[in-house]
Amino acid sequence: MKFKLFDISIETPRDWRIRITESSNYESGRMAVISPKKLYIAIRWQNTDIKKTSLKDYIEEVLTQRKDKRIKDLKILENTGFEKEGHEYRFIRVSFIYKKLLNPPKPQEYIGYLILCKRTNRLIGAFTNYPIEAVDESIEYLENPLKSINCECNK
């Protein structure tokens, strides 16, 4: 199923749900794409001024400046991308240990797909993090919809 809103499209299986934050508009907003297994992809977009650096450098800077003390052993496993038709695309995969007070540490993975639209000056990001044991199938169950995010400002 293909869903398009504010020139942002995503393709999901038919049984997934979409929830849009009421205050969303073309310049900034949020939506969640939720699987029947309650795994979700959070999508955010906003105007940005990343012209001074590449999207790759921006991502690495954001990840190294984390302030959450519950996140330990952060490792960037993948930060790959390409440019196409005035857009810069980046796929990231990060692993970390999440430790809450009085709870055992939980190994987690975080995957994200970012698009920098140079035409509209918007940063579009789709993200999900999950406990490693939460996905009983191939990670493609989350990756395929995540990587289907597209800016359609040229269409």
- In this predicted structure, what is the pLDDT of residue 32? 95
pLDDT mean over 33-53: 84
pTM: 0.83
pLDDT mean over 5-34: 94
- In this predicted structure, what is the pLDDT of residue 56? 80
Least confident of 11-25, 33-47, 131-145: 131-145
The residue assigned the tokens 């001024």 is: 49
The residue assigned the tokens 């990670």 is: 139
pLDDT in tens, 48-105: 876 656 788 777 777 776 666 777 787 888 889 999 988 999 999 888 887 777 878 7
- In this predicted structure, what is the pLDDT of residue 59? 78
- Strand blocks (E) in the chain: 2-5, 8-11, 17-20, 29-34, 40-47, 71-84, 87-98, 106-117, 122-131, 150-151
Q: In the CATH scheme, what is the homologous superfamily, with its name and number, of domain 2-151?
A: Mog1/PsbP, alpha/beta/alpha sandwich (3.40.1000.10)
What three-state secondary structure class fits 73?
Answer: strand
pLDDT in tens, 104-145: 877 778 889 999 998 888 999 999 876 666 555 557 778 889
pLDDT mean over 31-54: 85
- In this predicted structure, what is the pLDDT of residue 114? 93
- In this predicted structure, what is the pLDDT of residue 27? 93
- In this predicted structure, what is the pLDDT of residue 102? 80
Structural domain boundaries of the chain? 2-151
Estimate to the nearest angstrom the gap between the alpha carbon of 10 and the chain centroid. Answer: 12
Interior/surface letters 110-144, b for 16+ CB within 10 angstroms, e for the rest: bbbbbbbbeebebbbbbbbbbeeeebeeeeeebbe
Distance CA 138, CA 58 (A): 29
Per-residue confidence band for 33, with pLDDT thresholds at 50, 70 and 90: very high
